[in-house]
Amino acid sequence: MAKKEKKVIANIKMKIPAGRATPAPPVGSILGQYGVNMMDFINPFNEQTKDMKGELPVYVKLYEDRSFSFTVKGRPTDDIIREKLGIDKASGEPNREKVGKLTDAQLTEIAEEKMQDMNTEDIEQAKRIVAGSARSMGVEIEK
């Protein structure tokens, strides 16, 4: 007899500081409304992300029996780009106002860091994806 699939009652996306989840919002207010034991999420999340840094996107699937599964993605590309360039925010008008330049070496470094979260295995394609994010932030790409 086939194993019965659990019914998903919610798909939740949160941004949580790596290794520092607490029962305070956003974790407590979001998971609490579904009756999930927060410590069952917080302890494994903090353990899994203790060596990472920054705010991480977390995708949580909640099932009808109040169990859950979660996936942690890497840091957002724009956060990495801002860190590499030492800028606080992206350009409000990226087509007119430029806020910095990324070298090819920096672009490769960012693409390698983001490879696990991308839908490609090709480093050149990953670099193009990162370059697109950078251009939309008002960052020029050096050839």
The pLDDT tens digits of the residues spanning 15-42 come to 999 889 888 888 888 888 888 888 899 9
Q: Hey, which residues does 45 pair with through a beta bridge?
A: none
Q: Which CATH number fits domain 77-141: 1.10.10.250, 3.80.10.10, 2.60.40.720, 3.30.1330.20?
A: 1.10.10.250
pLDDT at site 44: 93
Give the whole-angstrom CA distance, residue 68 versus residue 82.
33
Name the band, by pLDDT with cuts 50, 70 and 90, for residue 2: low
pLDDT reading at 53 higher than 90: no
pLDDT at site 91: 84
Domain ranges of the chain: 8-72, 77-141
Q: What is the pLDDT of residues 55-112, one digit of tens each?
A: 889 999 999 888 899 999 888 888 889 988 888 888 888 888 888 899 999 999 999 9
- CATH entry 3.30.1550.10 includes domain 8-72: yes
Instruction: Give the DSSP H/E element, type plus range, for residue 25.
Output: none
The confidence score (pLDDT) of residue 75 equals 84
